[in-house]
Structure 1
């Protein structure tokens, strides 16, 4: 893949000086513990609705022992979750959806083009194509390791009705 085909020129990313760290991400994203799949934010361009972040993939990931024994490969669903978390961060930081929480709403044209393993830095790139307040965001995404495209596609994010989810959980407890 040519450099020009990437959403963000990787030369613009300063891996040593993220513009937001895990604590900044936690202010906007609710995921914690094993479900935090975004390490830092590297770049934002609000005029183009573009954001870049990364996930440091470590030997301590919950999936390493079992996926696959002796040959740990980051599951595709976890790569997609990392992209979703980057999309959520950008959406919430700029209040594009007008929602208290953004959830995974769908996926189109996802392709896995390489492997991600412990020790890799998975660079995540998104470009919002559509943001309908109160309804949905649509983002083109790419994941890159060592300058090579490993995953790409289109992700959709939707507002999560927090009150409805809480009521549902409470009703389940009272059964």
Structure 2
């Protein structure tokens, strides 16, 4: 199962960095159960990078980095056209042929879903495998949100003293980073 999320694609002010995350999970039921346990232990309804205070975010990061998943991340600095960059990055990230399902956050704009469907068609993967879900109902999307937020914070050098050790652990999991 594949989970796709991004962080910072809609940012207009400052210099803009967006991180596109592609998470692959082999035993999703186990990972989903563990994420729900982590959220429960942290007294967290549902994790979301943007809305979670650092202390709880740190606990979530610490525990989820122990889970069995792999990640590919595309980091794009100051994109002129984020939609085109998103398409380019996803074209290089989606290489597997035996994909059961691909889940994306349902709050994304329609163009986002259309771009992913276009890429799937080009790779002869049925678009029926693409599911747009609410992040509250899908723990894998919340995991992708955490990886996207952590990666973007690292490359934006936000709270680097807090972020660095967790980003280093993420890299040790076999993180593949594509920088453009």
Common fold: TM-score over 0.5: no
TM-score (norm 2): 0.25
Greater fraction of residues in strand:
1
Decide which structure has the larger Cα Rg and report it: 1
TM-score (norm 1): 0.25
Greater fraction of residues in helix:
2
